[in-house]
Amino acid sequence: MDLLGLSVREMSKGLRDKQFTSAELTRVFLAEAKRRNDELNAYVLLTETEALAQAEASDARYAEGKPLSALDGIPCALKDIFNTRGVRTTCCSKMLERFVPPYDATAVSKLRDAGVVFLGKTNMDEFACGGSTEHSCFGPTMNPADPSTIAGGSSGGSAAAVAGNMAPFAMGTDTGGSIRQPASLCGCVGLKPTYGRISRSGVTSMASSLDTIGHFTKTVGDSALILQALAGHDPRDATTPEVLVPDYLKDLEKGVKGLKIGLPKEYFAEGVDPEVRDAVMAVAKVYESLGAIVKEVSLPCTKYAVAVYYIIMPAELSANLARFDGIRYGSRPKKEGESIVDYYYNARGEGFGAEIKRRIMIGTYVLSAGYYDAFYNKALKVRTLIKNDFDAVFKEVDVLLTPTSPIPAFKPGEKINDPIAMYLADALTIPANAAGVPALSVPCGVTAAGLPIGMQLITPQFTESLLFQVGRAYEKAVG
């Protein structure tokens, strides 16, 4: 049996029916990860011994007929920004090169309690800042669909691990597109849930008002199953409201008949690759054939999203990264210097990469006296307008359909020296973070060159069930 090709739901059934064991599954994925990692660089750490011990414990539970959950015994990969008890967690920064957390992130402990097996930690842009993993201190992750191109970012390692059959599912974070963009570039399903739907406790903060936890899977149904295990209030994260967690699989097969699907014209404008645009327009036709009503809509403030993000994100990032001073958090500098200021200067100078330094400078600037109102406060106001656009459009339609990334995967080095070009790659994913609404990227074809294309579905806050329902309808129709 081709264990590598199974979905999580199929694996779960296979484990229950005793077709294979968790140890078998875990060995197969570890072997594939080792075989491909030299080329792809998806993992920065494989925790083989721990994984096999977890798998054997899971098999013992199945043997007794007492699995902990539907996810018991299923292997998974974790972005190296999730704190893992006793296992190095670097955020792919030299600053945290030797950091071993004393506790698990809430998302990790929920998965652990469900019986999930952790294969290892995946590559990412340093502190989740980037869209290609080229800002990782471990070097970039390459795309399994075409290893001469990058996997996207910042959660590129997790996307490549799932698309490259090196993990059945993987965890990531999305602040401006870091789950959806690499999912789209690598050809897997990526979910950014509603802001606050999954606890962020124990996951290093990038920009706190935008950060979300989510995951990569091969299928939409798997995405629903995993959200079920992770969603909910956590007393350790005050931004997780006590909103009821529905049964995410209940409406999965309901179809789209009668649903209103909006195509926001701003998301198909200049800058979107014609092959990407055509692929997403073809999806709209599929939905129409399934009985949905498709119409053009407008979100006029979309054009401000990137500018707003690159003020709010660096402002929050610069504050969050202030704790990494080589004393409270982060590595000691090689040279300590004469004064405490020298010490900070050396610790932060050595520990942070160039992109992080650029963002700290921007963030500090927009928060400084005299500029705070002109930049930061203004950006907050425009953010509200972006949110208002979504509120208005969801009075007209049930769901939005857009491209995820305006372009398919690119070559390493192509954008690294042009930060603005790199930032524009997130133009279509950032608005959902600004508004706090959930969004799902689903594969919808390939370019003539064979590179994956992803479509993005967006729905109102806390309606992930609808996202899955609509995503699944397409997946089922095209096979």
Which residues contact ligand GLN by CB under 6 A?
128-131, 154, 173-178, 206, 313, 426
Q: Nearer to ligand GLN by C-beta: 346 or 364?
A: 364
Cβ distance to ligand GLN smaller for residue 78 or 128: 128
Nearest residue (beta carbon) to ligand GLN? 178
**Sheet bearing 293-297, strands edge to edge:** 43-46, 117-122, 75-79, 170-174, 212-217, 189-192, 439-446, 452-458, 399-403, 260-264, 293-297
| 437 neighbors 456 (Cβ within 8 angstroms) | no
Nearest to ligand GLN of 8, 207 (CB atom): 207
Query: Closest separation between CB of residue 206 and ligand GLN, Å?
Result: 5
- Report the nearest approach of ligand GLN to the CB of residue 313 (Å): 6
CB of 55 to ligand GLN, least distance (A): 31
Q: What are the contacts of 365-374 at 24+ separation with CB within 8 A? A: 366/311, 366/314, 366/315, 367/315, 367/318, 367/319
The H or E element that residue 457 is part of is: strand 452-458
DSSP code, position 333: P
DSSP 284-324: HHHHHHTT-EEEEE--GGGGGHHHHHHHHHHHHHHHHGGGB
Q: Which residues pair with 452 in a beta bridge?
A: 446
Q: Which is nearer to ligand GLN, 362 or 466 (CB)?
A: 362
- What is the rounded distance in angstroms from the CA atom of residue 108 to the CA atom of residue 244? 21
Catalytic residues: 79, 154, 178
Question: Which of residues 178 and 184 has its CB atom nearest to ligand GLN in the complex?
Answer: 178
CB of 404 to ligand GLN, least distance (A): 12
CB of 326 to ligand GLN, least distance (A): 24
Closest distance of CB 427 from ligand GLN, Å? 11
Both structure tokens of 49: 């011994």
Contact (Cβ atoms closer than 8 angstroms) between residue 14 and residue 20: yes
Strands, E, within 151-248: which ranges? 170-174, 189-192, 212-217
With respect to ligand GLN, which residue has the nearer C-beta, 106 or 178? 178
> Read out DSSP for 153-179?
SSSHHHHHHHHTTS-S-EEEEESSSTT
Q: Which two structure tokens, joined as six digits, stand for 45?
A: 């750490």
